[in-house]
Structure 1
Amino acid sequence: MNTADLGLPVDVPSTALFTDQYELTMLRAALASGTAERRSVFEVFTRRLPDGRRYGVVGGTGRVLDAVENFRFDTAVLDFLREREIVGEETLEWLDGYRFSGDIWGYPEGEVYFPGSPIMRVEGTFAECVLLETVILSILNHDSAIAAAASRMSAAAGDRPLIEMGARRTHELAAVAASRAAYVGGFATTSDLAAGFRYGIPTVGTSAHAFTLLHDSERDAFQAQVNTLGRGTTLLVDTYDVAEAVRTAVEVAGTELGAVRIDSGDLLLVAHRVRQQLDELGARDTKIVVTSDLDEYAIASLAAAPVDAYGVGTQLVTGSGHPTSSMVYKLVARAESADPDAPLVPVAKKSSGGKTSVGGRKWAARRLDSHGVAEAEVIGTGPVPAGLADRQLPVELVKGGEVVAREPLDAARERHTRARAGLPMSATQLSRGEPVLPTEYLHEASGS
């Protein structure tokens, strides 16, 4: 797998340094104490959803699998660690042969989640699992935040397509990941060519105001664009006077003009006026695309407007006010010794301050009501009740170090559509509220 598939520069040899130094110092100390090889279980979860959100969306699972596969300590990385004296030679020797050989289970990409959901479970030795904390959290926290924002926007948009166009509003590599997550969450296309190249997302784009300003007149600009891209192109009509631009656009392209784009002003009012003008000019099939700092609330406010598509940038790639999902990666069980057959014992942080966790390897299932609608997220550490056995959410992603669950991006996108449709109707309300499903815990004392 080429690192370019991760949205990384091609000269980055591995994902091994996408980590925090304390993971390597913990490894060093664990090797010295003889505890590094103890079988361990780490889980990714969030204690709460972003304020006011009704559900979360799992995004980035496919990128996590690529990152784990590319987590290798090559010569350049080892030399860096040696020069900085971050770890000693014994640890460097161990890292030189690092290959994750454990198992990973998790909610499949596109699935929804709630507080406490075991979104991902990583099992193996302490040494091999602890190193993956930062890279896994970095991907899941970012991509899930974008996917959740995209889901809210796509729910607000209904059947109208959404265009992701936020590349200029975030880091260039984050932009590619954001395009991917937005597609999972329901967006139809992206303006980012790197995302199209790496992930096969449909790409779109025509012109900016600079193209109009380049020409001696708006008519010249429209004519140049139509001559090059055809009558089905989208013409940007708010550089000068919108009404005059719409008139000119139809004169240049005819009634076969594909679409006009509005990027400023009172979008509700302007869209109605433009629709009326297009119809009067005979361009009844010409569509209207609106952009300009849209979020889910602005999209919902345009539900009654004659708008055919939305372009969203800044608010999407920043998670619409919640740029992280606040997921954590916690040790929840570990063996009593380095013996591979040693039993697991549950462990958990118990200090005060709201950062406690629940020990034990967990299963998760979604209970349905009599109408087939989800009514609770059930999480447990003992046997799975018979009525929930076929409703379990985690799937096997990595087995014995080998990825076993790669899938097309469209599969995650379709899964999200089904998952959201299976929630109570209030899930897509934009008003502030509690998670749409309660989280219920079933525990056994052993938790192993």
Structure 2
Amino acid sequence: MYSFPSTTGLYTDHYELTMAQGYFLSKRHEKQASFDYFFRKAPFGGSLVVFSGLSTVLQMIENFRFPPDEIAYLKTIGFDEEFLQYLSQFSFQGNIYSVKEGELIFPNEPVLRVEGSIIETQLVETLLLNILNFESLIATKASRIRLAAGDRVLLEFGLRRAQGLGGIHASKAAISGGFDKTSNVYSAYHFNIESSGTMAHSWIQSFDDELEAFQTYARFFPDECILLVDTYDTLKSGIPNAIRVARELCEKGYQLAGIRLDSGDLTYLSKKARYMLDEAGLQNVKIVASNQLDENIIQSLLAQGAPIDVFGIGTSLATAKPDAALDGVYKLSLCDNKPSIKVSENLAKMTLPGVKSIHRFIDQDNLFCADGISLAHETAYDQIYHPTEIGKHKSIAACKKEALIHQVMNHGKTTLQPQTPVESATYTKSRLLQLPEEHKRFLNPHVYKVGISEELLATRNKLAKQYLKKDPFNS
């Protein structure tokens, strides 16, 4: 399993350290606090996010320390010596509660909670947001592509277009979101996932003759030979030469695995290729397609009847086109054992105070029908209320209830066995089967219902009125 450096204390923003020093010097650093992680808007015009990156975050937080060389560096940029002495002995000793990796989550749900002293819960903010926002974004994009592609094979090869080292975790998150293999050998090795690859145009161009390039490749890789057929002329030379090599492989007891189309009209070319291969008795040869694909293009190709068996996705997945980031935030909800709230004239930006739980409600058809957020001590409630639309509520009395939040770290030590990306993908797939279809469509998906309990609603409204000096919900 991939391992970060032995310490990750500097994986943070400067202002986290200045606030930490302020807490320490004002003798407030031992006050107990709770922070929530949530996002406000689903990316890609969708309704949901696939939660990913939890195992990475837990590993990083376990390693959150400041060795002597980093303490020396912090001294050079002006931090207080007494505070640095404190940091030299620092390790995270708090608790973390979270939904499961691979879970389907929805806007404004506090899906991860960090509890501990105010200084330790503050210091881990940046790394937590960095990892969860990025891996969840990529896993969500991957799950959309998986929905479009159905059971067809999906290959991720976005490393060359990814944002630097982010490509390592982009490949991991792609598998978590439902992809089958990656071209990224580094990630395949460290995350125990399967790598795969074909050839580039440069291989073919390096020979004087396309046929010779194909034959040479087939000689060295007879078991998994996929030939790139569009270097010169797909229909007049690429596919005919691939057919000839396929017959030569058959004579030696092997079978051509596939051909790859990387340019042109993929619907037209794949149909022509399928016809030519079938006429040659090569019905088992797969057609692989690549070239700036995403979920919408794949959906269109399949709607046109393109007989493509395998899709290779690079740039749009590794860079999460067209959304560059997930807007996940980390907000204080409890401080010194008192509920805390961020108030705003914009009701959608007002946070939910206190320590909370999330439950998923499941109808008689075993489908998800709503999520409810309540204060953690609440044991039962049969109504959920819209957080910002006054008077809007839903009865969940007839539904089964499933708790989503569980402890994953106890006093700085991880309490669960980390999931592999493949295990996360399996879980996500099972959860998507329970999500009604209207929430999964790409164009104008139906909004999934997320409500809050009556007690949480009253607590939130009371605090908001206290700080704003007016009732924002009746103004």
- TM-score, shorter chain, exceeding 0.5: yes
1:368–1:374 CA contact under 8 A, matched in 2? yes
1:345 and 1:446 in contact (8 A); partners too:
no
In 1, the alpha carbon distance for the partners of 2:90 and 2:234 equals 61
Establish whether residue 392 from structure 1 lines up as the match of residue 425 from structure 2: no
Mapping of 1:145-294 within 5 angstroms? 145-230=137-222, 232-243=224-235, 244-254=237-247, 256-294=255-293
Provide the rounded CA distance (Å) in 2 between the counterparts of 1:171 and 1:77: 26
Q: Secondary structure at the match of 1:320?
A: coil
Q: Is the counterpart of residue 439 in structure 1 residue 431 in structure 2?
A: no
2:81 aligns with one of 79, 83, 89: 89
Distance in 2 between residues matched to 1:26 and 1:389, nearest whole Å = 43
Letter in 1 for 2:55: G
1:339 counterpart residue number: none
Question: How far apart in 2 are the matches of 1:174 and 1:262?
Answer: 28
- Matched residues in 2 for 1:377 and 1:242: separation? 51
Find the counterpart in structure 1 of residue 471 from structure 2: none
Q: Return the match for 2:3 from 2, 5, 29.
A: 5
Q: Tell me the amino acid that sits aligned with residue 167 of structure 1.
A: L
The structural deviation recorded for 1:389 is 8.7
Shift of 1:406: 2.6
Which letter maps to 1:412?
Answer: S
1:230 Cα offset (Å): 0.6
The answer as to whether partners of 2:25 and 2:83 remain within 8 angstroms in 1 is no
Decide whether the 8 Å contact of 2:353 with 2:459 is kept in 1: no
Shift of 1:282: 1.3
Residues of 2 paired with 1:425 and 1:237: CA distance? 38
Indicate yes or no: 2:104 matched with 1:112: yes
TM-aligned CA deviation for residue 279 of structure 1 = 0.5
Aligned residue for 1:118, secondary structure, equals coil
Secondary structure at 1:391's aligned position in 2? strand
| 2:112 is the alignment partner of 1:139 | no
1:2-47 CA-partner distances (Å, limit 9, x unpaired): xx524xxxxx552211111111111111112221101110010012
The aligned residue for residue 341 of structure 1 is none
Residues 146, 323 of structure 1: 8 Å contact kept:
no
Q: Is the 8 A contact 2:362 2:401 kept in 1?
A: no
Matching residue of 2:384: none
Q: Quote how far apart the aligned CAs of 1:351 are.
A: 2.8
RMSD: 1.7
> Does the Cα contact within 8 Å between 2:101 and 2:419 map onto a contact in 1?
no
Q: CA deviation at 1:366?
A: 0.8
> Equivalent residue for 2:298?
299
Q: Which moved more, 1:414-423 or 1:401-410?
A: 401-410
TM-score (norm 2): 0.87
Partner of 1:321, secondary structure, is coil
Query: Which of 397, 417, 423 is 1:411 aligned to?
Result: 423
- Residues 289 and 309, structure 1, Cα contact 8 Å, conserved in 2: yes
Q: Which residue among 20, 30, 49 is the counterpart of 1:37?
A: 30
**Aligned equivalents of 2:120 and 2:95: distance in 1?**
11
User: What is the alpha-carbon distance in structure 1 between the residues aligned to residue 59 and residue 350 of structure 2?
Assistant: 31
Please point out which of 434, 437, 453 is paired with 1:422: 434
Shift of 1:51: 5.8
Q: Is contact 1:231-1:253 (8 Å) kept?
A: no
TM-score normalised by L of structure 1: 0.92
Letter in structure 2 aligned against 1:152: R
Cα offset for 1:152?
0.4
Unaligned 5+ runs, structure 1: 7-11, 336-343
User: Against the structure 1 CA distance between its residues 157 and 15, is the aligned structure 2 distance closer, same or farther, given a 3 Å change threshold?
Assistant: same
Moved more, 104-113 or 25-34: 25-34
Code of the residue aligned with 1:31 in structure 2: it is F
Deviations 1:236-282 (A, max 9, x none): 00001112211111212325211000000111111000000000111
* Distance in 1 between residues matched to 2:272 and 2:175, nearest whole Å: 31
SS at match of 1:35: coil
**Paired residue for 1:124?**
116
User: Residue 393 of structure 1 aligns to which amino acid in structure 2?
Assistant: L
Deviation, 1:52, is 1.9
- The count of corresponding residues between Structure 1 and Structure 2 is 430
| Structure 1: distance between partners of 2:231 and 2:218 | 17
| Cα distance in 1, alignment partners of residues 295 and 190 from structure 2 | 27
